[in-house]
Structure 1
Amino acid sequence: MKRSKITFFLAIVLGITLHSCLDMEPQDQLGGKNMWTSVNDYKQFANTFYSWTRDFSSVVYDGTHSDKRSDLITYQSYNEFSRGINSIPSSDANYTDNYKHIRRTNLLIENAETYSKPEDIKQYLGEAYFFRAYSYFDLLQLYGDVIITKKPLDITDPEMKVKRNDRSEVVDLIIDDLGHAIDNLPAFKELSTEEEGRISKEGAQAFLSRVALYEGTWQKSRNNNQNTERTKNLLDIAAKAARTVMDAKYGYSFRLFGTDSETKVLGDSAQKYMFILENEKSNPAGIKKSANHEYIFARRHDQILASIGKNITQECLANVQWITRKFANLYLCDDGLPIDKSDRFQKYDEKVSEFLNRDNRMRYTLLKPGTRYWGNKFGRTSWQWDEVDLKTSKLY
């Protein structure tokens, strides 16, 4: 009995001792006690930011501008958004996740202030400013007025329960953050092969142009389509930022895919292959992915480390998108005019009539009746674009 009491007492002591060993900061939070001591610490922490960008899945299902939030697509059972019957959720991951992202960027920015060699980590500091702006822009588009915090707060902290900041303050913060990002980031041409996919000065400038254009036109449309001093300033910022990239001010010339000597051989199908370009077999001209000089900032995928999770070169009928008439009518005619203004529009007399004389984007994003396609089960066999391939295709 006495021995059992001693054993029980030792077990309690051991349990308390081991429990104290567990009282550690989570590694992903990188507080002041555990890391932030080397350039690699900042780089590894900044690497996590890149999983926040939109990809093929998130942009379709719940992106800020997801078509499923609109009246442009529907389902076998009608789209609740286009019918106006969507409910108000008690919580929204778009809100909580973006503030988690902001907390992480604030952690890096805060710790960078005391790093002994700031020049060595300026790229990752620039990335933190960029992704804080990126996250706040998501919030701005969804909610307008949101809470601004520059400290690494948790979503449950009391400071996150205060009155929301006006959207103009949010926009000013985003523009200011992008200015810091541009100052600290390398130019596109300075990125090494290993760093391909990281944000550059040009990427931040292009995003700045998008933000300023969005807010400038948003404000203008709410002022009877008349400019104010605010909208003029925003649209001027947008134009200057875009021109900086277009004029190759940082030494790299981006080019429209399908217009340069490498890719113009694809003709009017260039828009189609730009999004599925992988290797020589993925297109009839044998062009490699390196021939694409249009992307200013692209999310990188790897078959093993970061799979795309979507079969983008074949069908996806299990998750087919049912477009609305409004969506189909938005495609311009090949003279650049909308269908109600153009003499080129062929109306709806035949199944394929409305596809004639339309913008190539309609041809390559919608499946026209009579088109052959390759399914998930029976993909291409020869990649030679010949009769052998056609035998495995289906007729829509």
Structure 2
Amino acid sequence: MVRKQKRLGFTLVELLVVIAIIGVLVGLLLPAVQAAREAARRMSCSNNFKQIGLAVHNYHSAFKLIPPYMTGTIDNGGNPRTAPTANNLLSLSHLPGLTPFFEQQAIWEQISNPWQTSGGGIIQAFGPYPDLSLSDQANIGGYDPWMTNIPTLRCPSDPGQGLPSQGRTNYAASLGDSFLRSDGSFYDRQGNVAKNKGIERVDWLTAARSAQRGFFVPRIKGMAFRDVLDGLSNTICMGEIITDLGDNDIRSQAAGDSAGPASRRSGANMLNGGHVKCKALIDPERPQFWNFSLVSGTVKSLAGAENGRGGKWAMAHGLYTTFQTIFPPNSEICLSRDRSGSGLLPAASRHQGGCHVLMGDGAVKFITDSIDAGRSQDPSARVVGNGTPNGAESPFGLWGALGTRASREVIEEEL
């Protein structure tokens, strides 16, 4: 009797079962891998913020001042964009002065020394106007510091890279709970109190001092830790923003009414239906994005491809380098008049469910989108400082209280 030899190997059914099991395991594993990668990126983002916080404290130790916002060289009457008269019109953000304190001494050396353009002209120290267009940059051969992407200023979760944005940043200065006079227009570009028909606008300066209640105050001189009366651990110094990807994200591209009833300086058209008009542009099918074809007329994108959120790290326009504690994180942007104007500029991030903030004491906290923002949806509450008593409690709940530096609002619970 001859025995049949047993065949070795898998049957087709067995092979298909094994492949199916492997597919299921891979499907289960991939989200875990993605979550682990995002956790690592989030930790790296937090570490960047801690390094910046340390830089702020080292700056204060060196100069006994908070890094100024809207500073630099004054208007000399020439063309700020070309040599030899180029200057930055007191428009530098809080970040250029911090560069030597977070290991970017080489960039600081370029910024703090005169620079020779490709045409042989000399631009004085601290560079030309930071809001140069790409064509202006080409005309002077490219001012490298303003075009440089500094790793410390970038969140690893933000995929934004390259042109048309120039040097990107994800870390913005906190201006507190008001947009009134947040463009620094109460001082002119020579550092003097602004004038109207030859008369100093002291009322603008008074309004700004009342409204600008955050850690940073545009063009106000001499701010120091002593001015943060709520305590450094109770006051937000900086917060995350996302950079523009050209996809009409409501958090990185600005909508607004270019023919609003008020100037960009006061932002008062936010009270006159401006934000309602902005919300009308949110795509109902994709509520994280604008659809600028939904409304015709002057309500539209105010920034443009070259001028998205976080697109110019050295420039002190609110759109590029500031946020307010009015709307909760990851809300929509709405501007008054144009990209250089005042408006509603929330914090935002590519992390799930919220964003990081840097407290005045250097601690980094993660704030969720659901944080108590009080009356942020009430238009009558949005111009803090316009008749609001100095030191009044913020109308924007816990979020607003964290943004103010001297309203005697101490946060007792752990965030």
With structure 1 as the length reference, what TM-score do the two structures score? 0.23
Which structure has greater strand proportion?
Answer: 2
The one of the two structures with greater contact order (alpha-carbon pairs below 8 A, sep at least 6) is 2
TM-score after normalising by structure 2: 0.23
